[in-house]
A = this chain, B = another copy of it.
Amino acid sequence: MPPSADRSPFRHTLRVYWEDTDAGGVVFYANYLRFFERARTEWLRSFGHSQQRLREETGAIFVVAETSIRYLRPARLDDELDVTVELLEAGRATMLIAQQALRGDVLLAEGKIRIGCVDAATLRPRRIPLTLPSGHLPLPA
């Protein structure tokens, strides 16, 4: 991938609601996976891709194959969070994506998500049926 000093990661803004919190008074850690996924969905949409339409037209759905997340600082009710999406690697049937959740400049959680593309009916791996802008989807060598 060529250097691209000016390419800042995609950013999706969301709000913390009651549903997201737990009895510790903070966002329940499992919910960062939901936040990360909302951001990935909006990132795809920013290239014109709707997953519902993708499924109807090609039979393909994305599935999460692997997640590793570090939880650094708590978020609370009413916080406004930014969630970033950065494509690290892209292959024929998988993508590796780095994501962060921030409140202003404060990093709350970050991680990497490996996504696979499968056939919705058989759940077998298949080629990703979409084109991301070339800066975002480096072809494997």
- Cα separation A79 to B34 with both chains bound (whole Å): 17
Q: Contact check: which of B22, B50, B53, B67 meets A23 at CB < 8 Å? A: B22
Q: Contact check: which of B33, B34, B51, B71 meets A77 at CB < 8 Å? A: B51
B23 touches A37 (CB 8 A): no
A71 and B78 contact, Cβ closer than 8 Å, known pairs A18-B41, A37-B19, A41-B17: no
- 22 pairs, A vs B, C-beta closer than 8 Å: A15-B38, A17-B34, A17-B37, A18-B23, A19-B22, A19-B28, A22-B22, A23-B23, A23-B24, A23-B26, A23-B77, A24-B61, A29-B67, A30-B31, A51-B78, A63-B71, A65-B71, A66-B68, A66-B69, A66-B71, A67-B71, A74-B123
Q: Which residues of A contact B (CB under 8 A)?
A: 15, 17-19, 21-26, 28-31, 33-34, 37-38, 41-42, 50-53, 61, 63-71, 74, 76-79, 120, 123
